[in-house]
Structure 1
Protein backbone atom coordinates (compact mmCIF):
# COMPACT_ATOMS: atom_id res chain seq x y z
CA UNK A 1 0.00 0.00 0.00
CA UNK A 2 1.30 3.42 -0.93
CA UNK A 3 -0.16 6.84 -0.12
CA UNK A 4 0.87 9.84 -2.20
CA UNK A 5 -0.07 13.49 -2.43
CA UNK A 6 -2.10 14.08 -5.56
CA UNK A 7 -1.31 16.65 -8.20
CA UNK A 8 -3.46 18.31 -10.87
CA UNK A 9 -2.93 15.41 -13.29
CA UNK A 10 -4.69 13.13 -10.74
CA UNK A 11 -7.98 15.06 -10.89
CA UNK A 12 -9.90 12.39 -12.81
CA UNK A 13 -8.60 9.66 -10.45
CA UNK A 14 -9.76 11.67 -7.42
CA UNK A 15 -13.18 12.21 -9.01
CA UNK A 16 -13.54 8.56 -10.07
CA UNK A 17 -12.69 7.24 -6.57
CA UNK A 18 -15.09 9.70 -4.96
CA UNK A 19 -18.00 8.83 -7.27
CA UNK A 20 -17.47 5.06 -6.81
CA UNK A 21 -17.38 5.44 -3.02
CA UNK A 22 -20.31 7.88 -2.74
CA UNK A 23 -22.67 5.99 -5.08
CA UNK A 24 -23.95 4.10 -2.05
CA UNK A 25 -25.50 7.41 -0.90
CA UNK A 26 -27.39 8.09 -4.15
CA UNK A 27 -30.71 7.06 -2.55
CA UNK A 28 -30.22 9.16 0.60
CA UNK A 29 -32.57 12.11 1.00
CA UNK A 30 -31.02 14.28 -0.24
CA UNK A 31 -28.27 12.36 -2.08
CA UNK A 32 -24.69 13.31 -1.22
CA UNK A 33 -23.54 16.46 -3.00
CA UNK A 34 -20.34 14.55 -3.80
CA UNK A 35 -22.30 12.90 -6.60
CA UNK A 36 -22.92 16.31 -8.20
CA UNK A 37 -19.22 17.10 -8.44
CA UNK A 38 -17.46 16.93 -11.78
CA UNK A 39 -13.84 16.45 -12.80
CA UNK A 40 -13.88 20.17 -13.55
CA UNK A 41 -15.17 21.14 -10.09
CA UNK A 42 -12.46 18.99 -8.45
CA UNK A 43 -9.82 20.59 -10.68
CA UNK A 44 -11.02 24.08 -9.72
CA UNK A 45 -10.88 23.14 -6.02
CA UNK A 46 -7.31 21.82 -6.40
CA UNK A 47 -6.28 24.99 -8.21
CA UNK A 48 -7.85 26.99 -5.36
CA UNK A 49 -5.61 25.35 -2.75
CA UNK A 50 -7.40 22.13 -1.89
CA UNK A 51 -5.09 19.13 -1.58
CA UNK A 52 -5.66 15.40 -1.80
CA UNK A 53 -4.06 12.08 -0.90
CA UNK A 54 -4.49 8.96 -3.01
CA UNK A 55 -3.96 5.43 -1.72
CA UNK A 56 -2.66 2.81 -4.17
CA UNK A 57 -2.45 -0.95 -3.87
CA UNK A 58 -0.36 -2.61 -6.58
CA UNK A 59 -0.31 0.76 -8.39
CA UNK A 60 -4.13 0.80 -8.55
CA UNK A 61 -5.93 3.71 -6.86
CA UNK A 62 -8.29 2.42 -4.16
CA UNK A 63 -8.97 5.42 -1.94
CA UNK A 64 -8.52 9.14 -1.47
CA UNK A 65 -9.22 12.04 0.84
CA UNK A 66 -9.46 15.74 0.08
CA UNK A 67 -8.38 18.39 2.58
CA UNK A 68 -7.60 22.02 3.32
CA UNK A 69 -5.58 23.74 6.01
CA UNK A 70 -7.74 26.25 7.88
CA UNK A 71 -5.72 28.40 10.29
CA UNK A 72 -4.15 25.93 12.74
CA UNK A 73 -6.36 22.97 11.75
CA UNK A 74 -6.70 20.50 8.93
CA UNK A 75 -10.21 19.97 7.54
CA UNK A 76 -10.76 16.78 5.55
CA UNK A 77 -13.73 15.70 3.48
CA UNK A 78 -14.89 13.27 0.78
CA UNK A 79 -12.88 10.42 2.34
CA UNK A 80 -13.45 7.71 -0.28
CA UNK A 81 -12.59 4.03 -0.55
CA UNK A 82 -13.92 2.05 -3.50
CA UNK A 83 -16.63 -0.39 -2.36
CA UNK A 84 -14.71 -3.59 -3.08
CA UNK A 85 -11.82 -2.42 -0.85
CA UNK A 86 -13.87 -1.09 2.09
CA UNK A 87 -13.23 -2.81 5.41
CA UNK A 88 -9.51 -3.32 4.74
CA UNK A 89 -8.23 -0.40 6.84
CA UNK A 90 -7.60 1.92 3.90
CA UNK A 91 -9.60 4.80 5.38
CA UNK A 92 -7.69 4.47 8.66
CA UNK A 93 -4.36 4.45 6.80
CA UNK A 94 -5.35 7.59 4.87
CA UNK A 95 -6.40 9.31 8.10
CA UNK A 96 -3.21 8.30 9.92
CA UNK A 97 -1.13 9.65 7.02
CA UNK A 98 -3.16 12.88 7.11
CA UNK A 99 -2.75 13.21 10.89
CA UNK A 100 1.03 12.73 10.61
CA UNK A 101 1.15 15.37 7.89
CA UNK A 102 -0.87 17.77 10.09
CA UNK A 103 1.54 17.21 13.00
CA UNK A 104 4.52 17.90 10.71
CA UNK A 105 2.80 21.13 9.64
CA UNK A 106 2.44 21.99 13.37
CA UNK A 107 -1.35 22.06 13.19
CA UNK A 108 -3.23 21.60 16.47
CA UNK A 109 -6.29 19.67 15.31
CA UNK A 110 -7.93 17.76 12.47
CA UNK A 111 -11.65 17.79 11.82
CA UNK A 112 -14.46 16.72 9.51
CA UNK A 113 -18.24 16.87 9.11
CA UNK A 114 -20.38 13.75 8.86
CA UNK A 115 -24.06 13.13 8.18
CA UNK A 116 -25.65 11.87 11.39
CA UNK A 117 -27.27 9.07 9.39
CA UNK A 118 -23.87 7.63 8.38
CA UNK A 119 -23.19 5.99 11.72
CA UNK A 120 -20.41 3.73 10.45
CA UNK A 121 -18.31 6.80 9.57
CA UNK A 122 -18.99 8.32 12.99
CA UNK A 123 -17.87 5.00 14.54
CA UNK A 124 -14.75 4.92 12.33
CA UNK A 125 -13.69 8.43 13.34
CA UNK A 126 -14.56 7.79 17.02
CA UNK A 127 -12.36 4.66 16.96
CA UNK A 128 -9.47 6.86 15.84
CA UNK A 129 -9.86 9.38 18.64
CA UNK A 130 -12.23 11.90 17.07
CA UNK A 131 -15.08 13.27 19.12
CA UNK A 132 -18.24 15.16 18.23
CA UNK A 133 -17.97 18.85 19.11
CA UNK A 134 -20.92 20.31 17.21
CA UNK A 135 -24.23 19.40 15.62
CA UNK A 136 -26.02 21.40 12.97
CA UNK A 137 -28.78 21.17 10.43
CA UNK A 138 -27.79 22.11 6.89
CA UNK A 139 -30.63 23.40 4.76
CA UNK A 140 -30.26 22.48 1.10
CA UNK A 141 -31.59 24.68 -1.75
CA UNK A 142 -34.23 22.01 -2.55
CA UNK A 143 -35.82 22.54 0.86
CA UNK A 144 -34.41 19.35 2.40
CA UNK A 145 -32.38 19.43 5.59
CA UNK A 146 -29.44 17.27 6.68
CA UNK A 147 -28.33 16.71 10.27
CA UNK A 148 -24.53 16.98 10.46
CA UNK A 149 -22.04 16.35 13.24
CA UNK A 150 -18.62 17.97 13.34
CA UNK A 151 -15.87 15.72 14.68
CA UNK A 152 -12.39 16.74 15.82
CA UNK A 153 -9.18 15.23 17.08
CA UNK A 154 -6.56 17.27 18.93
CA UNK A 155 -3.01 16.72 17.68
CA UNK A 156 0.41 16.95 19.26
Structure 2
Protein backbone atom coordinates (compact mmCIF):
# COMPACT_ATOMS: atom_id res chain seq x y z
CA UNK A 1 0.00 0.00 0.00
CA UNK A 2 1.17 3.47 -0.84
CA UNK A 3 0.29 6.84 0.65
CA UNK A 4 0.88 8.46 -2.73
CA UNK A 5 -2.14 9.69 -4.64
CA UNK A 6 -2.20 9.14 -8.39
CA UNK A 7 -4.17 10.88 -11.13
CA UNK A 8 -5.66 9.03 -14.07
CA UNK A 9 -8.30 9.35 -16.77
CA UNK A 10 -11.64 7.86 -15.68
CA UNK A 11 -13.46 5.11 -17.53
CA UNK A 12 -17.17 4.31 -17.65
CA UNK A 13 -16.56 1.76 -14.87
CA UNK A 14 -15.70 4.69 -12.59
CA UNK A 15 -19.13 6.32 -12.99
CA UNK A 16 -20.56 5.09 -9.65
CA UNK A 17 -17.47 6.26 -7.74
CA UNK A 18 -17.47 9.58 -9.62
CA UNK A 19 -21.11 10.20 -8.65
CA UNK A 20 -20.44 9.27 -5.02
CA UNK A 21 -17.32 11.46 -4.84
CA UNK A 22 -19.17 14.44 -6.32
CA UNK A 23 -22.10 13.98 -3.91
CA UNK A 24 -19.84 13.71 -0.85
CA UNK A 25 -17.70 16.67 -1.93
CA UNK A 26 -20.64 18.98 -2.62
CA UNK A 27 -22.64 17.96 0.50
CA UNK A 28 -21.39 21.06 2.35
CA UNK A 29 -23.26 23.25 -0.15
CA UNK A 30 -26.67 21.56 0.24
CA UNK A 31 -29.20 24.22 1.18
CA UNK A 32 -26.59 26.99 0.90
CA UNK A 33 -26.56 27.67 -2.87
CA UNK A 34 -29.48 29.30 -4.64
CA UNK A 35 -30.30 27.74 -6.97
CA UNK A 36 -29.13 24.42 -5.59
CA UNK A 37 -26.07 22.93 -7.27
CA UNK A 38 -26.66 20.62 -10.20
CA UNK A 39 -24.07 18.36 -8.55
CA UNK A 40 -26.90 16.95 -6.43
CA UNK A 41 -28.57 15.63 -9.58
CA UNK A 42 -25.50 13.75 -10.84
CA UNK A 43 -26.01 10.00 -11.13
CA UNK A 44 -23.75 7.15 -12.13
CA UNK A 45 -25.98 6.56 -15.17
CA UNK A 46 -25.82 10.20 -16.22
CA UNK A 47 -22.05 10.36 -15.83
CA UNK A 48 -21.60 7.10 -17.74
CA UNK A 49 -23.74 8.53 -20.56
CA UNK A 50 -21.64 11.73 -20.63
CA UNK A 51 -18.44 9.69 -20.80
CA UNK A 52 -19.91 7.55 -23.59
CA UNK A 53 -20.71 10.64 -25.67
CA UNK A 54 -17.16 11.99 -25.39
CA UNK A 55 -16.92 13.96 -22.15
CA UNK A 56 -14.15 12.96 -19.80
CA UNK A 57 -13.11 12.85 -16.17
CA UNK A 58 -9.87 12.81 -14.25
CA UNK A 59 -9.68 11.09 -10.89
CA UNK A 60 -7.31 11.30 -7.96
CA UNK A 61 -7.01 8.09 -5.99
CA UNK A 62 -4.91 6.43 -3.34
CA UNK A 63 -4.76 2.66 -2.94
CA UNK A 64 -7.72 2.29 -5.29
CA UNK A 65 -9.93 4.72 -3.34
CA UNK A 66 -11.19 7.76 -5.24
CA UNK A 67 -10.34 10.93 -3.30
CA UNK A 68 -11.31 13.51 -5.91
CA UNK A 69 -12.35 14.04 -9.49
CA UNK A 70 -13.14 16.62 -12.12
CA UNK A 71 -15.35 16.38 -15.21
CA UNK A 72 -14.15 17.85 -18.52
CA UNK A 73 -15.62 18.63 -21.92
CA UNK A 74 -14.40 20.48 -25.00
CA UNK A 75 -16.25 23.70 -25.72
CA UNK A 76 -15.48 26.55 -28.12
CA UNK A 77 -11.84 25.53 -28.59
CA UNK A 78 -11.19 25.22 -24.85
CA UNK A 79 -11.48 22.47 -22.25
CA UNK A 80 -14.24 23.21 -19.73
CA UNK A 81 -14.03 21.67 -16.29
CA UNK A 82 -16.77 21.26 -13.73
CA UNK A 83 -17.69 19.33 -10.62
CA UNK A 84 -14.19 19.76 -9.20
CA UNK A 85 -14.52 17.49 -6.17
CA UNK A 86 -12.26 16.49 -3.30
CA UNK A 87 -13.60 14.39 -0.43
CA UNK A 88 -13.61 16.28 2.88
CA UNK A 89 -11.21 13.70 4.37
CA UNK A 90 -8.67 14.37 1.57
CA UNK A 91 -8.71 18.18 1.61
CA UNK A 92 -5.66 20.25 2.39
CA UNK A 93 -3.33 17.98 0.41
CA UNK A 94 -3.29 19.98 -2.83
CA UNK A 95 -5.54 17.57 -4.74
CA UNK A 96 -7.79 20.28 -6.21
CA UNK A 97 -4.74 22.09 -7.55
CA UNK A 98 -3.32 18.83 -8.96
CA UNK A 99 -6.63 18.02 -10.64
CA UNK A 100 -6.75 21.50 -12.23
CA UNK A 101 -3.15 21.12 -13.42
CA UNK A 102 -4.13 17.75 -14.94
CA UNK A 103 -7.03 19.42 -16.76
CA UNK A 104 -4.62 22.01 -18.14
CA UNK A 105 -2.26 19.23 -19.22
CA UNK A 106 -5.11 17.44 -20.97
CA UNK A 107 -6.09 20.67 -22.75
CA UNK A 108 -2.50 21.11 -23.95
CA UNK A 109 -2.36 17.47 -25.07
CA UNK A 110 -5.49 18.10 -27.15
CA UNK A 111 -4.02 21.29 -28.61
CA UNK A 112 -6.72 23.51 -27.12
CA UNK A 113 -6.30 27.25 -26.55
CA UNK A 114 -7.42 27.46 -22.93
CA UNK A 115 -9.35 26.12 -19.98
CA UNK A 116 -12.74 27.39 -18.75
CA UNK A 117 -14.84 26.96 -15.66
CA UNK A 118 -17.89 28.37 -13.93
CA UNK A 119 -18.01 29.20 -10.24
CA UNK A 120 -20.83 30.50 -8.07
CA UNK A 121 -20.56 34.14 -7.07
CA UNK A 122 -21.00 33.24 -3.39
CA UNK A 123 -18.05 30.81 -3.43
CA UNK A 124 -15.34 33.43 -3.00
CA UNK A 125 -12.79 30.94 -1.64
CA UNK A 126 -13.07 28.89 -4.84
CA UNK A 127 -12.74 32.05 -6.93
CA UNK A 128 -9.52 32.92 -5.07
CA UNK A 129 -8.09 29.45 -5.78
CA UNK A 130 -8.86 29.75 -9.50
CA UNK A 131 -7.47 33.29 -9.68
CA UNK A 132 -4.27 32.14 -7.96
CA UNK A 133 -3.85 29.59 -10.76
CA UNK A 134 -4.18 32.21 -13.49
CA UNK A 135 -7.92 32.12 -14.23
CA UNK A 136 -9.62 35.43 -14.94
CA UNK A 137 -13.28 36.39 -15.03
CA UNK A 138 -14.70 36.56 -18.54
CA UNK A 139 -18.41 37.08 -17.79
CA UNK A 140 -21.20 36.63 -15.29
CA UNK A 141 -24.50 34.91 -15.89
CA UNK A 142 -27.76 34.21 -14.14
CA UNK A 143 -29.17 30.74 -13.71
CA UNK A 144 -32.63 30.29 -15.29
CA UNK A 145 -35.27 32.14 -13.32
CA UNK A 146 -32.87 34.65 -11.74
CA UNK A 147 -32.64 38.32 -12.65
CA UNK A 148 -29.16 38.80 -11.20
CA UNK A 149 -25.88 37.00 -11.89
CA UNK A 150 -25.37 33.84 -9.86
CA UNK A 151 -22.25 32.48 -11.57
CA UNK A 152 -18.90 33.74 -12.81
CA UNK A 153 -17.26 32.31 -15.93
CA UNK A 154 -13.46 32.18 -15.80
CA UNK A 155 -10.82 31.27 -18.36
CA UNK A 156 -7.09 30.67 -18.48
CA UNK A 157 -5.36 30.89 -21.86
CA UNK A 158 -2.71 28.25 -22.47
CA UNK A 159 0.37 28.96 -24.43
TM interval, shorter chain, is over 0.9
TM-score by length of structure 2 reads: 0.91
1:3 is aligned to 7
**Residue among 16, 20, 23 paired with 1:12:** 16
Q: Give the Cα separation in 1 of the matches to 2:52 and 2:148.
A: 30
Deviations 1:55-101 (A, max 9, x none): 01233210000000124210000000001112211000011111112
- Helix, strand or coil for the counterpart of 1:43? helix
Compare the two structures and name the one with the higher strand fraction.
1
1:84 is aligned to 89
| Structure 1 stretches of at least 4 aligned residues deviating more than 2 Å after TM superposition | 143-146
TM-score by length of structure 1 reads: 0.92
2:150 is aligned to 147
Deviations 1:33-74 (A, max 9, x none): 111222111111111211000001233210000000124210
Alignment of 1:1-156 (within 5 A): 1-28=5-32, 29-140=34-145, 147-156=150-159
User: Which structure 2 segments of 5+ residues have no match?
Assistant: none
Shift of 1:144: 8.9
Greater mean alpha carbon deviation, residues 3-12 or residues 66-75? 66-75
User: Which structure 1 segments of 5+ residues have no match?
Assistant: none
Q: Give the Cα separation in 1 of the matches to 2:7 and 2:133.
A: 18
From the superposition, tell whether residues 57 and 145 of structure 1 become closer, same or farther in structure 2 (CA, over 3 Å): farther
